[in-house]
Amino acid sequence: MSLSIVPNHQPSTIQADIITIIAKDPNTGITAERQLPVKFRENQFGVWLEGTDEFGDSQAIVIFTSAGTNRMEELLGQADISRENEESAAL
């Protein structure tokens, strides 16, 4: 996945209440396009998709960039532990 974030700039956010999915079947070559009522947010930390399930409960999928993963580790207090483990493995 490629995020459309401009490097070395202030954080920007892209938001939408409807997303368009384009899927192409590799065997038949048939392409389907659907518009879905899914909230979409993208910034330097990743992509957030939010919608409702069949029970009407809110559900979300978050895909983190490297910067987002690093930030999450910092917030959880695991950043130093992860980096120490990586350094130990390199020795």
Span 28-76, pLDDT tens digits: 999 999 999 999 999 999 999 999 999 999 999 999 999 999 999 999 9
- The two three-digit tokens of residue 43, written as one number: 């910034």
- Which position has the higher pLDDT, 60 or 79? 60
- Domain annotation covers residue 6: no
Average pLDDT over residues 3-23: 76
- The candidate with the shortest Cα–Cα distance to 46, out of 89, 5, 87, is 5
- Domain annotation covers residue 24: yes
- Domain annotation covers residue 57: yes
Provide the pLDDT for residue 78.
83
User: Given a cut of 50, is residue 3 above it in pLDDT?
Assistant: no
- Say what the pTM is: 0.61
Domain count, the chain: 1
Q: Is the dihedral of CA 31, 35, 40, 42 positive or negative?
A: positive
